């Protein structure tokens, strides 16, 4: 994806109802003085939305906005969204229709994991809110500054530290799987396998200096299209495809994932 400073992908709404609802939400925030940029995020920002997709937004506040002012704006939005007829019509359009909106301050602080930590959403949030969103209206100065700060990727020393941390967390969880299998705790072993799988994906994206979308969906799009690793993707579904839970199969899956970690994340 082209991440140059002024290259934004326009929002693509799958239905007129999605588009109209987005305009209603945008108009609520358009003239609020503390708002820098109104962002469409996730599927509609990437042109992947379907008629069943949610509407997802992030409202970037100016960097000097007091927390009390953000809290007041959140309260006003909650009242407005709960009463507005257009938003209600969208929410009633099908069972899972939802409007998700976060008011954000644009501050992204990496965390340090202890044993058993991870994955976290440091890179995911930067990806969805800085690298891949679609601004409605003008892109504000603060948003442009954030893109300059975080794109095409963050500081190399931090990247290497987080790559080591994510890789170590993946290994830590994989190391627990034989222990749980031996005790007959196969479902707990599978839980560790799935956690390690997400930590592997986090390490993979850090290794390739690419911001992810998520670690639990859009996996094929991300690995094949964003990372250009189709040969890796074909090896991923079998990792979580367990046919005999109460067997040695989970140990075999753990070994396979560990091999991918060493091959693709070193």
CATH code of the domain in which 93 resides: 3.30.460
- In a domain? residue 71: yes
Looking at the structure of the chain, the number of domains it has is: 2
Contacts of 92 (CB under 8 A, 6+ apart): none
Q: What's the pLDDT score for residue 90?
A: 97
| pLDDT number for residue 1 | 37
For residue 132, which phi and psi values (nearest 5 degrees)?
-115, 5
CA R_g for the chain? 21
Do 180 and 131 share a domain, yes or no?
A: no
CATH number of domain containing 251: 1.20.120
> Of the residues 117, 150, 183, which one is the last residue of a structural domain?
150
Q: What is the pLDDT of residue 117?
A: 86
Identify the domain boundary among 127, 150, 173. 150
Asked which of 101, 121, 150 is the last residue of a domain, the reply is 150
20 lies in the same domain as 100: yes
Give residue 43's pLDDT: 95
> Are 207 and 254 found together in one domain?
yes
In a domain, 34, yes or no: yes
Q: Please indicate, yes or no, if residue 4 is contained in any of the structural domains.
A: no
Domain of 220 in residue numbering reads as 156-264
> Do 192 and 124 reside in the same domain of the chain?
no
Q: CA dist 85 to 21, 88, 89, 144, Å? A: 10, 5, 6, 34
Shared domain for 134 and 187, answered yes or no, is no
| Residue 10 falls inside a structural domain | no
Instruction: Tell me the CB-side half-sphere exposure of residue 44, using CA atoms within 13 A.
Output: 27
Q: Tell me, yes or no, whether 194 lies in a domain.
A: yes
**55 and 115 housed in the same domain:** yes
Same-domain check for residues 141 and 167: no
Q: Which helix (H) or strand (E) holds 103?
A: strand 99-104
Are 166 and 68 contained in the same domain? no
Local confidence pLDDT in tens for the 266 residues of the chain: 333 334 466 899 999 999 999 999 999 999 999 999 999 999 999 999 999 999 999 999 999 999 999 999 999 999 999 999 999 999 999 999 999 999 999 999 999 998 778 899 999 999 999 999 999 999 999 999 999 999 999 999 999 999 999 999 999 999 999 999 999 999 999 999 999 999 999 999 999 999 999 999 999 999 999 999 999 999 999 999 999 999 999 999 999 999 999 999 98
Residues 217, 139 share a domain: no
Asked whether residue 226 falls in the same domain as residue 144, the answer is: no
* Per-residue pLDDT, 114: 84
- 59 and 127 in a single domain? The answer is yes
Q: Are residues 123 and 185 in the same domain?
A: no
């Amino acid at each position: 994806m082209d991440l140059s400073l002024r290259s934004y992908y326009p929002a693509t709404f799958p239905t007129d109802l999605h588009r109209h609802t987005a305009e209603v939400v945008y108009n609520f925030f358009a003239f609020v003085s503390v708002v820098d940029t109104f962002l469409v995020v996730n599927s509609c920002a990437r042109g992947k939305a379907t008629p069943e997709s949610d509407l997802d937004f992030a409202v970037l506040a100016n960097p000097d906005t007091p927390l009390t002012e953000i809290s007041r704006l959140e309260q006003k939005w909650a009242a407005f969204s709960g009463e507005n007829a257009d938003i209600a019509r969208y929410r009633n359009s099908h069972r899972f229709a939802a409007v998700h909106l976060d008011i954000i301050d644009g501050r992204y602080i990496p965390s340090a994991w202890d044993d058993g930590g991870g994955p976290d959403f440091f890179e995911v949030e930067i990806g969805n809110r800085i690298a891949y969103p679609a601004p409605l209206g003008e892109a504000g100065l603060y948003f442009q500054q954030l893109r300059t700060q975080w794109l095409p990727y963050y500081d190399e020393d931090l990247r290497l530290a987080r790559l080591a941390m994510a890789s170590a967390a993946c290994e830590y969880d994989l190391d627990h799987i034989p222990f749980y299998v031996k005790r007959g705790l196969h479902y707990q072993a599978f839980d560790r396998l799935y956690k390690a799988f997400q930590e592997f994906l986090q390490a993979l994206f850090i290794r390739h200096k690419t911001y992810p979308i998520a670690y639990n969906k859009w996996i094929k799009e991300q690995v094949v299209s964003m990372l250009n690793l189709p040969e890796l993707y074909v090896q991923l579904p079998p990792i979580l495809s367990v046919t005999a839970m109460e067997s040695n199969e989970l140990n075999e899956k753990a070994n396979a994932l560990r091999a991918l970690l060493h091959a693709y994340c070193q």
